[in-house]
Structure 1
Amino acid sequence: MAPWLPDILRNPLAALIGDACTKTLIDELNIFDPLCLRHAVSKGLGLGIVLGGCIVKLPQLFKILNAKSVAGISLSSYVLEVLANAITLAYNFRQGYSFTTYGEALFIGVQNIVITLLILAFTGRTMIGLVTSVSLLVFTYVLFDASFVGPSILSVLYGLTIPLVISSRIPQIYAIHKNKYTGQLSAFAVFNYFFGTAARLFTTMVEVDDSLVLIGAVLAVVANGVLAAQMLYFWNAQAPQDKYRLDTKKTK
C-alpha cells in the first residue's frame, strides 16, 4: 500500500518508530499489530520523558529562587543524583542505545547541577559550589572518553548507580521524615519524576535488553514512589523554623 500520509508528517514518524512499523501502523492502518504498537507506545513515552526532563526540575528551581530558601532540600541527594545522571548518560550513549531511552538524564542532570549550586549558595558555600561544578564537568567528560574509562569500568560504575539512585533519595526521604515537612520541595517535580520513572521502566522493558538498566529503572520507581507518598502524607504539614533563608543569614 502506498503511503498516504504527507512526507512532512511521515518522515519524522518513521525516524522515531522506524520504517517497518510506520508502514504497518500508518500506511496499512494496522494499528493493532502488537509488536509495532508496543514499540510505538514505548517510543512515544520515551520522547515524552525526554521532553519532560527539560522542565521537570524547573518548578523546584523557581520555588527556591522565589522563597530564597532551601529548607527541606537535601544537598547530598542532589550531589548523588548528579553523579548518577552523568554515569547513566555516558553508559547509555557508549552502549549505543536510543536517545529516547535515556535522554532525560542529560537535561535533568543540568538542572540538578544548578539546584546543587543554589543550595550551596543559600547556605554560604559559594566557593565550594564553584569547585563542585568544575569537578562534576570534568568527571562527566572523563566518563565519555574510553581512553580514560574503559567499557568494563563504565559497566561497574553504572552498576553502582543502582545503589546510588537509592542513596540519592534516602537523605531526602529521611529529611522529610525527620522534619515532618516537605519544605521547598516541589510537588510538581516529585510527582512528575515518579510518573516519569514509571514510564521509563516500560520503555526499558520494551527497548533495552540490559539487566543493569532494568534493575536501575525498577529501583528508581520504588525510591521515587516513597518520596511521592511522603509528599502526599505531609501535604498540609506546618513549617518548622526556617534556618535556610538567604535573607535571614547572619552577617559578620
Structure 2
Amino acid sequence: MQSDTLLHVANVSILLACMVLKFPQIFVLLRAKSTTGVSLNSLVLELVGYIVFVTYQMYYDYPPPTYLEYPILIAQDVVLLILILLYGGRLQDSLMYSIVFVVGWRLLTVEKWIIDFAMSLCTFISAASKFAQLQCLWRSKDAGQVSALTWALATYTCAARIYTTIATTGDMQVLVRFVAMTLLNLWVLLSVLHYQRRRHSFIKDD
C-alpha cells in the first residue's frame, strides 16, 4: 500500500512538473526576444527522442501514467521551436520541421522492428540533444537565455522516472534512458548555473 502511494505521488509530481517544465524557458525567450545560449539542434533532437519514446510506450500498451507527460512536453517543445525559429529569423523553416516530424512519427509504427530499433537509438538521440546544448554553452561561454529552472525540473522528472520505471514495467531500455538523461540534465544544469554565476560576477566587476 505504501509503495502504491509513493508511486502515485511520484507520477502526479512528474506530471505537474512537466505541465510547466518548459514555461520558464518560454517566458525567458519571450522577454528577451533572443535565443543566445539556446541550441536549436538540442531542441530538435529532444523532440525526436520524445516522439520515439511516447510512441514506443503507446505501441506496447504501457500504463499511461508512465508516459502521460510526454505529449505535454512535445507540445511545449513545439512552442519553443517556433520561438527559436522566429527570433532566429528562420520561421519559414517551421513547415519543413512539421512535415518531417509528422511523417517520421507515422513511419515509426509501420513495422514492429522499426519502433524497436528507434527505441534502441532513443537514448543516444536524447543524449545527443543534451550534448548539443552543452556544446552551445561551451562555445559561447554564456548561458544567455537558457533557463536553469527548466533544466532543474527536467533533472527531477527523469530521476523520479527511474523509480516509477523500476516499480512498474522494469523495462531495461527505458531505465537506462532515464539514468542517462538524469545525469546529462544535471550536467547541463550545473553548466548553466556556472555560466550564469560567472556572467553576474562580470557585471558586478564592471
Counterpart Cα distance in 1 of 2:183 and 2:153: 14
Counterpart Cα distance in 2 of 1:130 and 1:122: 16
Q: Which runs of 5+ in 1 are unaligned?
A: 1-35, 240-252
Counterpart Cα distance in 2 of 1:133 and 1:53: 22
Aligned to 1:163: 124
Counterpart Cα distance in 1 of 2:15 and 2:101: 22
User: Quick check: 1:206 aligned with 2:167?
Assistant: yes
Structure 1 residue ranges, 4+ long, deviating more than 3 angstroms after superposition: none
Structure with greater Cα Rg: 1
Q: What does 1:16-165 correspond to in 2, within 5 Å?
A: 36-143=1-108, 146=109, 148=110, 150-165=111-126
1:78/1:116 contact within 8 Å kept: yes
**Amino acid corresponding to residue 118 of structure 1 in structure 2:** L
Counterpart Cα distance in 1 of 2:146 and 2:102: 25
Counterpart Cα distance in 1 of 2:182 and 2:171: 17
Aligned to 1:179: 140
1:165/1:219 contact within 8 Å kept: no
- For each residue in 1:56-105, what CA deviation from the matched residue of structure 2 results, as whole angstroms up to 9, or x when unmatched? 10111111011110110000000000001101111001111111111111
SS of the aligned residue for 1:237 comes to helix
1:113/1:133 contact within 8 Å kept: no
- For each residue in 1:185-212, what CA deviation from the matched residue of structure 2 results, as whole angstroms up to 9, or x when unmatched? 1111010111111111111111122111
Aligned to 1:6: none
SS of the aligned residue for 1:192 comes to helix
**Amino acid corresponding to residue 173 of structure 1 in structure 2:** L
Counterpart Cα distance in 2 of 1:168 and 1:157: 15
**Amino acid corresponding to residue 94 of structure 1 in structure 2:** Y
Offset of residue 43 of structure 1 = 2.3
| Greater fraction helix | 2
**Amino acid corresponding to residue 231 of structure 1 in structure 2:** V
When normalised by structure 1's length, the TM-score is 0.75
Comparing both chains, which one has the higher relative contact order based on Cα–Cα distances under 8 Å and sequence gaps of 6 or more? Answer: 2
Aligned residues: CA RMSD: 1.5
Offset of residue 175 of structure 1 = 1.4
**Amino acid corresponding to residue 84 of structure 2 in structure 1:** I
Q: Which runs of 5+ in 2 are unaligned?
A: 201-206
Offset of residue 228 of structure 1 = 1.4
**Amino acid corresponding to residue 102 of structure 2 in structure 1:** L
SS of the aligned residue for 1:236 comes to helix
- For each residue in 1:28-51, what CA deviation from the matched residue of structure 2 results, as whole angstroms up to 9, or x when unmatched? xxxxxxxx3223212221122123
**Amino acid corresponding to residue 233 of structure 1 in structure 2:** H
SS of the aligned residue for 2:198 comes to coil
When normalised by structure 2's length, the TM-score is 0.91
